[in-house]
């Protein structure tokens, strides 16, 4: 075999190995983003599952706070209607999800403020347990959102960096959106009695 043929085969082989390795790396990062997104959805679902129990406990003590209770139920319904798969993650869809989750957080804050006006409710074991679970869930949501953003950042760097971006475009890997603070989250919720 000629020396030039051997060199050409080595170069082609090296490029093939690089392409395979890069592709597999992108697949791994994409799957990691999918897992992180699943963790976010799981945390949101946990919060959504706690809310009916919390509303029922509050309802027994604060029946004339019907508007607040209905607001929580409506916000929960809106938030649970938005189900995004990792393939559906776009800036627009993330904005819709953030808005719905922000409304739910605001409604829950109002519900907790209402609970402050009812000493018997605050002393109720079920309410205290649900409130603690909800607080833990909110912390968990924050942590999984941060983990998702870290994972997305790693993935986005991989699919945007040269020369991997060429393979990413060929194989259809595109950047994923990160969670960003909702503009409404910058303002403290206003509670009126």
- The answer to the question of residue 166 being in a domain is yes
Q: What is the pLDDT of residue 184?
A: 53
- The answer to the question of residue 7 being in a domain is no
Reported as a single tens digit per residue, the pLDDT across 176-185 is 999 886 665 5
- The answer to the question of residue 136 being in a domain is yes
Reported as a single tens digit per residue, the pLDDT across 47-79 is 999 999 888 888 877 776 778 888 899 999 999
CB 164 within 8 A of CB 20: no
CA–CA dist 106, 117 (Å, integer)? 18
Q: What is the pLDDT of residue 193?
A: 38
Whole-number mean pLDDT of the chain?
A: 88
Q: Record the pTM.
A: 0.81
Question: What is the extent of the structural domain holding 70?
Answer: 23-186
- The answer to the question of residue 167 being in a domain is yes
- The answer to the question of residue 153 being in a domain is yes
- The answer to the question of residue 12 being in a domain is no
- The answer to the question of residue 55 being in a domain is yes
Q: Name, in order, each residue with C-beta under 8 angstroms of 68's C-beta and a sequence gap of 6 or more.
A: 62, 107, 110, 111, 114
- What is the Cα 45 distance to its own chain's centre? 11
CA–CA dist 58, 60 (Å, integer)? 5
Q: Which residues of the chain have pLDDT under 70?
A: 64, 181-193
Q: How many structural domains comprise the chain?
A: 1
3-class secondary structure, 178: coil
CA–CA dist 75, 41 (Å, integer)? 16
- The answer to the question of residue 8 being in a domain is no
CATH number at residue 71: 1.20.1440.20
């Amino acid at each position: 075999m000629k020396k030039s043929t051997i060199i050409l085969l080595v170069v082609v082989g090296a490029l093939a190995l690089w392409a395979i390795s890069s592709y597999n790396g992108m697949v791994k990062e994409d799957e990691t983003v999918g897992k992180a997104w699943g963790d976010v959805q799981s945390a949101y679902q946990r919060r959504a599952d706690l809310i009916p129990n919390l509303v029922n406990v509050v309802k027994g003590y604060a029946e004339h706070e019907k508007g607040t209770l209905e607001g929580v139920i409506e916000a929960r319904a809106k938030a649970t209607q938005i189900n995004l798969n990792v393939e559906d993650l776009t800036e627009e869809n993330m904005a819709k999800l953030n808005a719905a989750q922000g409304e739910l957080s605001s409604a829950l804050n109002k519900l907790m403020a209402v609970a402050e006006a009812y000493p018997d409710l605050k002393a109720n074991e079920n309410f205290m347990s649900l409130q603690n679970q909800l607080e833990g869930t909110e912390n968990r949501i924050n942590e999984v959102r941060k983990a998702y953003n870290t994972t997305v950042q790693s993935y986005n760097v991989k699919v945007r960096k040269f020369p991997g971006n060429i393979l990413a475009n060929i194989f259809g890997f595109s950047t994923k959106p990160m969670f960003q603070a909702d503009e409404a989250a910058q303002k403290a919720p206003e509670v009126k009695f």
